Amino acid sequence: MDVALEKRQVERAYEFYAPVYDFIFDWIFAPGRAAAIRHLGLEPNDSVLEVGIGTGLNLPLYPPACRLTGIDLSQEMLDKAIERVQELAMPNVTLKVMDATSLDFGDNEFDKAVATYTISAVPDPVSVLREMRRVVKPGGVLVILNHFRSDRRLTGWVEDLLAPVCTRLGWKSNLPLTPLLAQVGLAAEEVCKVNLFNGWRLIVCVNRK
């Protein structure tokens, strides 16, 4: 599928999800989100980039002193994140509409970066991870929380079968983890299974430039 067409499909999907996103995704995926922010190992005054911040469900999980920049492709989702920032009174949060495949940030600008339930929802996950790696300082931490294609033959076959339908709904069901990291030049320092039925994987990488 053409990347531009798939990008527009993702935008439309999340415009549709915006009003009900919190209801659908909060309680089901909350354990993984909490684990992802915890694995960042945040220190006072760390600068953090969250790619695909959506409606800002992760915002209450960050320490108050954290300098957070959140980006998302959907203005509708960010509008809700802005409301959440105001409710939580978080002065060190910056939110921007931005394409994660072409980040408007300099090299080595952030101490850490995180993407929760985002990598399978973008048309070009390799470019997104490369950009995340580019803007994170050497030795910085990247945390990825996502569903990846199962290593089990039958489950993987089912995920491949469902892939065209899932893409139209806004995510990939059969994104393989190992080739993805290899293309970006990252290695998993830690892998944890989280959420219902351990169906999602939390990947911790160190940016060894």
Domain ranges of the chain: 3-206
10 φ, ψ (degrees, to nearest 5): -65, -45
CA-based nearest residue to 11, from 103, 105, 123, 95:
123
User: What 8-state DSSP symbol labels residue 171?
Assistant: S
To the nearest whole number, what is the mean pLDDT of the chain?
Answer: 83
Q: Using the predicted structure, report yes or no on whether residue 44 has a pLDDT greater than 90.
A: no
Tens digits of residue pLDDT in 106-136? 999 999 999 999 998 888 999 999 999 999 9
Q: Using the predicted structure, report yes or no on whether residue 1 has a pLDDT greater than 50.
A: no
Indicate the pLDDT class of residue 21, thresholds 50, 70 and 90.
low
Looking at residue 38, its pLDDT comes to 97
Helix (H, G, I), strand (E, B) or coil at 141: strand
Q: Using the predicted structure, report yes or no on whether residue 27 has a pLDDT greater than 90.
A: no
* Percentage of residues of the chain with pLDDT beyond 70: 75
Q: Using the predicted structure, report yes or no on whether residue 8 has a pLDDT greater than 60.
A: no
The CATH number given to 3-206 is 3.40.50.150
Q: Using the predicted structure, report yes or no on whether residue 209 has a pLDDT greater than 50.
A: yes
Q: Whole-angstrom Cα distance, residue 145 to residue 37?
A: 10
Q: Which of 62-66, 198-202, 204-208 is the most confident on average? A: 204-208
